Structure 1
Amino acid sequence: MALMIPILGILLGFFGVWTNHKEKVAKLQTRVVATETAEKAAQYASHVQRLEDRVQVLERIVTDRGYDIATQIEALRDTRRVDAHSDKDAGVPLGFENKERV
């Protein structure tokens, strides 16, 4: 019985050291996960910002020239239908014939 007390003390000491070690490992893992999460959040934020910038450009195109673009697209469709049945070059951009040639 007298031998059990020192053995129990040594075991409790090892248990304390082991518990302290596990706590430090858990804190380090938490820091690593937090760092990785912050990096991913920054990447997502950057990606979202790029997408928002692109959407703003598209909105500006649609609102500034939306009706004009729709008209040009329809005119291009009509031109290609006509050009498919004629000898004209279908690769000429819309409004090109109206511009002064150099």
Structure 2
Amino acid sequence: MHGPWFVLSIIAMSMAAWIINNWIRAKHGYSISDDWGRNIDKGDANAARHIALLGQENEQLTGKVSRLEERIAVLERIATDPATRTAREIDALRDR
């Protein structure tokens, strides 16, 4: 007698979990998937444009990171070099 209710409760919990999962995905901007993990909204015309924009943003961020790495290298050199050498280099730059 408990067998059918047990099976039905497992099915109900699975369906509820699937609905909650898709609701959370939609809320955070992810595409909704079916039971087998395939995306339902395959007709997304903005996907290619979005990918291109992400590529451009990635290039910009890569450039910023490389510039920051150069600046950090200079700051590390200043911090670890002897004070007299750094003072000479600053004076040389002032004399220009």
Interval containing the TM-score (normalised by the shorter chain): 0.3 to 0.5
Larger proportion of helix: 1
> TM-score, normalization: structure 1?
0.40
Q: TM-score by structure 2 length?
A: 0.42
